[in-house]
């Protein structure tokens, strides 16, 4: 591995190899573990919640409610939700990501755990009033996208909501060979289902990187029963 390789270059390299080998989720642990060892800069490194999550939760009191972050990363989004009073879970398929999140937030109230969106533990199914999915679906190859979307939907409790944030792929734009595998509008609309309905789907400027691609901001809701 080149000492000058960025984590995103490593992600491209390992993502392509994982897909070619028929094991499309293998590359996450390879990249996260490289970051933990210092072989590349720490991937997806941020200490503040995503701006669109902060916008969505502004003024919200999460006391007595449960939230989950899909793809824990380094924990910034989960810590934000816990600070609002939510009983918060954050999971990731990569053990190195979970370990790094725990190390970054010692004494945290967040339940950081290793779990697979494609094969959820039963105690997570239907358990959450707020599901936060930021950039995980686009990091999953198209061969597993439908299963991943189904996994996101399975997390939602009756009456619960989902915030989805993804980078925009234009309708006439080809899907890249390497990650991320961005979603177009039709793919975003297809996230609804299993009694989960779309309440809004907006294309918005990237608030953190104004010169970067636009973002999809989607809200879905499951009716209470």
- pTM to 2 decimal places: 0.96
Q: What's the pLDDT tens digit per position in 17-38?
A: 999 999 999 999 999 999 999 9
Residues 127 and 182: their CA atoms lie apart, in Å, by: 28
Mean pLDDT of the chain: 96
In tens, the pLDDT along 114-135 reads 999 999 999 999 999 999 999 9
Residue at token pair 């669109």:
52
Q: How many CB atoms lie within 10 A of CB 144?
A: 16
44/191 Cα distance (integer angstroms): 24
Pick the more confident residue, 63 or 4.
Answer: 63
In the chain the domains, ranked by start, together with CATH numbers, are: 44-222 (3.40.50.150)
Question: Tens digits of per-residue pLDDT, 73-93?
Answer: 999 999 999 999 999 999 999
């Amino acid at each position: 591995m080149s000492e000058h390789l960025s984590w995103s270059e490593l992600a491209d390299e390992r993502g392509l190899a994982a897909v070619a080998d028929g094991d499309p989720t293998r590359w996450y642990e390879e990249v996260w573990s490289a970051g933990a060892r210092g072989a590349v800069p720490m991937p997806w490194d941020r200490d503040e919640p995503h701006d669109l999550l902060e916008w969505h939760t502004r003024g919200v009191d999460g006391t007595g409610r449960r939230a989950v972050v899909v793809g824990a990363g380094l924990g910034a989004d989960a810590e934000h939700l816990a600070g609002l009073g939510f009983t918060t879970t954050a999971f990731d398929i990569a053990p190195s990501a979970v370990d790094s999140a725990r190390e970054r937030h010692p004494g945290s109230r967040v339940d950081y755990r290793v779990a697979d969106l494609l094969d959820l533990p039963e105690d997570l199914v239907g358990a959450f009033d707020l599901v936060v999915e930021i950039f995980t679906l686009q990091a999953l190859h198209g061969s597993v996208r439908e299963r991943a979307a189904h996994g996101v939907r399975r997390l939602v409790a009756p009456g619960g909501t989902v915030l989805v944030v993804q980078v925009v792929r234009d309708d006439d734009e080809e899907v890249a060979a390497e990650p991320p595998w961005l979603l177009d509008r039709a793919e975003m609309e297809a996230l609804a289902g299993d009694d989960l309905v779309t309440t809004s789907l907006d294309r918005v400027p990237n608030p953190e990187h104004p010169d970067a691609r636009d973002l999809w901001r989607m809200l879905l809701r499951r009716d209470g029963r």
